Structures are given as C-alpha cells and as structure tokens.
A and B are shown apart, each in its own frame.
Chain A
Amino acid sequence: MGRAIVITSGKGGVGKTTTAANIGSALAQLGKSVVVVDADIGLRNLDVVMGLENRIVYHLVDVVRGKCTVAKALIKDRRLENLWLLPASQTDDKDSVTPDDMKKLVCELRATHDFVVIDCPAGIEQGFKNAIAGADEAIVVATPEVSSIRDADRVIGLLAAAGIPARLIVNRISPHLVKRGDMLSQADVIEILALELLGTIPLDEHIVATTNKGIPAVLENKSIAAKEFTRVARSLAGLDAGAPVAAPGFFSRLGRALGLSPAPTA
C-alpha cells in the first residue's frame, strides 16, 4: 500500500504545483511508482507544468462520474518509466467532487502505486477539503512572506484537526535578501510555524525556464532548486538524503536557550 501526500499552502501562487511536479518526478527517478493528481478542478495546471497537456483524454471528474476507469484516465509520462498524471477537469467546478469521492479514488491509486502526490488548489474551501480527504500526510509550502506564512498557519491548524501530519517546504528563499535583513530566513519560518522542515527551495531562474518548457526541473537537475527537490524526495522515500540545511530541533533548542520559547513541560 502506497502513501498519499497532499501538497497544500492556503495562499495561491507559492509553488504547490511546482513542488508536486518536481517531487513526483524525483520519486519516479528514484524508481518509485508515482501518480501525481491534479486536484485543482477548474484551474488545471499540473499538466502544463509537466508538459503532458497534449495527451489528456479523460480526467479526474470523468473517473468520479464513472465515465471511465482510473487506469484509462492516467497519462503515462514518456520520460520516466514509473510516472503517471491524473489530470483535473478544466470545465467543472470544485463541487463536482466530494471528499468521499476523493478518498475512494486515492485509495484505489494507493493500492497500485508507491506514492500518490496530490496538488491541492489554493484556499481552504471545498477544493482544499477534497484534496486532503484521501491524504496520509501533507507538505505545506510557504514562501518567506507574512501573508503566505499566515495562510500556512491556518492550513496547519486545519490539517491537525483532520489528523493529517504535516511537514514544511520553504519555497522561493533568496539568500542575499535574507543576508541583507530583507527576508525572513528559513529558521524564522520554522520558529514561527513550529513545523518539521522537509526542505528549502531557493528562488531559482531554472524553475522559470524549465516550467516554460514543460520539463520538471529535476529532469535537468542543473539547478540548486532541482537538487533540493531531489533531496526532499530521497528523504520521503526513506533513503539517505542528508539533513535539510537547518534542522528544526536545533532552532527550538537554541530558542529555549535564549529564552525565546518555553521549555517543554513534562
């Protein structure tokens, strides 16, 4: 039985689809069988980010409505042996699917694949509830900005209430802005959100260029962002990955030593 991981954020445009495409592809490169699911019904994008937009015949809503089998709707990636995409519908809306539909669908995919990576739409309404319904765990993507972190915090609360364990990816970090004192550091974000860090992806022009071409950056593996996505995938797959650049344990200990956060009570 595989694992279903939802990529979510609250705020729009922070890098959920980019993360889903790259982590999905990187897991497939590691030999895992992977389905990436576009749960952003009505605003599908994962297909173009992965360069598979010309091959869509059926989509998620067709499967839910019983128009076709899941197997028929899956698009097989031609570059990677073990990678499939389940595209979203572009013409339906979020209410065409229920959380129960998603649970059933994800459960079916989990039975035949090692990883189901679900790309969640922005927001915390119906689309979000659908996307998290079948997930075993969550990756919360946040950029180092006040509004993104605030929304991420809200999503973390909702995931906790739903009993879904979550970890953090900080995206679009710009080291020179952090150094200049004009951007929150990954340590700041971890301290504020109190969530385990899975990875930190820099603001990287290769992401823009590979997205233009419809090639997940990890397939070219030239950029720092790609290497970090691959590292995250290794750690998800339980392979030796090396620690993220900053381990949260260190910062909470440091925080306590400096009196910033209370010592845990027994």
Chain B
Amino acid sequence: MWNGIKSLITGGRSSREVAKGRLHLVLAHDRSGLEGGKLQEMRQEIAAVIARYVDIDANAVEISIESHSRETQLMVSSPLPARHA
C-alpha cells in the first residue's frame, strides 16, 4: 500500500534504481576523462561536420557517453533529413 503510494510520487522508481541510473551516467563521464565542456565543444564540431554533408539542424545532434563492464563508448546521434529528389 505505502510502497504503491511512494512509487506514484517518485514516478515508480525506487531510490535504489535512481542511484543506479545516476551512477551509470556519472561513471561513464568519469571513465572517459572528458569534462562536460569538452563534450559540448566536441558535439558542436561534429554537428558542423555533419552539416557540411547534409542539411540538418546542428542543435538536433546529440552526444552521450555510455559505459558497461568498464568499456566506454561515445554515442553520437543525428537526424537525417528525407531526400526530396
């Protein structure tokens, strides 16, 4: 009962799950050694490169770091416009 009410308030996630999610994010960044500012700089440069080839909104390019079993990966995602030819 109380657990049910509590999960309604916290959006269904226990503090344990919240802690796990936060750790995954923090550790991915720590392990990469890239500070937040550097990552954003990199995002802008990558977006500029993509924009040279395709017509995209540079702000729609997203960058993130993920780490599982101590293996860390950089993820870049960008929308590609449909071809009208």
Q: Which residues of A contact B (CB under 8 A)?
A: 145-146, 149-150, 153-154, 157, 178, 180-185, 188, 192, 194, 252, 260-262
Binding site for A on B (CB under 8 A): 3, 14-17, 19-20, 22-24, 26-27, 30-31, 68-71
Partner of A150, one of B17, B23, B68: B23
Which chain A residues lie closer than 8 Å to B69 at the CB level? Answer: 194, 252, 261-262
Name the A residues within 8 Å of B19 (CB-CB). Answer: 145-146, 184
The answer for the CA separation of A66 and B3 in the assembled complex, in Å, is 63
Interchain CB contact under 8 A, B27 and A153? yes
Q: Are B30 and A192 in contact (CB under 8 A)?
A: no
Contacts of B3 in A (CB 8 A): 181
Q: In the complex where A260-B68, A261-B68 touch, is A146 in contact with B16 (Cβ < 8 A)?
A: no
Q: Hey, which chain B residues are within 8 Å of A183, CB to CB?
A: 15-16
Chain B residue nearest to A178 (CB atoms) is B16
A178 to B19, CA, bound (A): 12
Within the assembled complex, what's the spacing in Å between the Cα atoms of A149 and B16?
A: 13
Residues of A within 8 A of B14 (CB): 180-182
Kindly report which residue of chain A lies nearest to residue B22, judged by CB atoms. A146
Contacts of B15 in A (CB 8 A): 181-183
14 A–B pairs (Cβ distance < 8 Å), ordered by A: A145-B19, A146-B23, A149-B23, A149-B27, A150-B26, A180-B14, A181-B3, A181-B16, A183-B16, A185-B16, A192-B20, A252-B69, A261-B68, A262-B71
In the complex, the chain B residue whose C-beta lies closest to that of A181 is B14
Q: Which residues of the other chain, B, contact A145 by a CB distance below 8 angstroms?
A: 19
* Residue from B3, B20, B30, B31 having most chain A Cβ neighbours under 10 A: B20
CB distance from A140 to the nearest CB of B (A): 13
A74 to B81: give the CA distance in the assembly, Å: 73
Give the docked Cα–Cα distance between A183 and B18 (Å): 10
10 residue pairs, one from A and one from B, having the closest CB atoms: A181-B14, A261-B68, A194-B69, A194-B70, A182-B15, A181-B16, A261-B69, A153-B27, A146-B19, A192-B23
> CB within 8 A of A188: which of B20, B26, B30, B68?
B20
Cα-based distance from A237 to B19 in the complex (angstroms): 35
